[in-house]
Amino acid sequence: MNILCIGDIYGKTGREAIEKHLPILKEKYKPDWIIANGENITAGNGLSQKHLNFLKKCGVDIVTTGNHILARTDWVEVVKDKDVLRPNNLVPESSPGKGIAVFSKNGTDNIAVMNLTGRIFMEPCRCPFAEFDKLYPLVPEQTPLVVDFHAEATSEKQAFFWHVNSRAALAYGTHTHVQTSDDLILPEGNTACITDIGMTGAVEGIIGVDKSTVISRFRTGFSEKFICAKGQTKIEGVFVRLNNLNKPEVIEKFRFIG
């Protein structure tokens, strides 16, 4: 099974990057599943129904999110879509949407995907380690599990990966918008992982945002509305291939710029 995971898509420039680069990735990796984090796709802050439809049209199968999914007033309706996940531990359990689901194509090639958020330097949430333990029994046997762990702290992400080792086939970090170089398959359990898969958006910005806006905010201390950076685009993420036993045999981070 070939799995392609795309880093946080930021604003209009991120959407342009998807249109430009995703066909290249499809041709290169021949993915059975495409998973993308869409929490920043709408003006850098949230996921609208319009842009969810855009992702589906481009070939994205599953859309994960993060803390910014709550930014828009229409989030309640968007997360009801069968192909959208929101962090299971971010909101009360009775909230709309879901943080874990099993997906299938033509009744075969089933995959389970879980979406959680971290606690360090993030909004208050339930313990992601305990949340994983609670949700894991919902994963059917012989079904590979992929986890999008939307978190800030490197140490928390890496601790989480070791915690889920042997249970998740793939666990990766999102949220920081900076791709890390530590993609590997953990020993003693064979979970593929990477601390952060990166961002899809503008090359000449600061984690997706117009650089002059961010620099001004640091220099003055005054809050300014973030504006999506424009210009040259990039798409970042990770590719994983599972063997017939649903164990990872290849993990490869990617970055296309143009």
Distance of alpha carbon 85 from alpha carbon 109, whole angstroms: 19
Question: Using CA atoms in the order 130, 132, 135, 140, what is the torsion angle rounded to 10 degrees?
Answer: -140
Distance of alpha carbon 194 from alpha carbon 111, whole angstroms: 19
Burial class (CB in 10 A: 0-12, 13-18, 19+), 16: middle
Distance of alpha carbon 69 from alpha carbon 67, whole angstroms: 5
User: How many other β-carbons are positioned within 10 Å of the β-carbon of residue 159?
Assistant: 13
Rounded to 5 degrees, what angle do the CA atoms 115, 117, 121 make? 165
User: How many other β-carbons are positioned within 10 Å of the β-carbon of residue 137?
Assistant: 7
Q: Which contiguous run of DSSP H or E holds residue 119?
A: none
Q: Which two tokens stand for residue 223?
A: 């809050």
Q: Out of 68, 150, 175, 177, pick the active-site residue.
A: 68
What 3-state class would DSSP assign to 143? coil
Half-sphere exposure for 38 (CA within 13 Å, toward CB): 30
Q: Is 68 a residue of the active site? A: yes
Residues with catalytic roles: 68
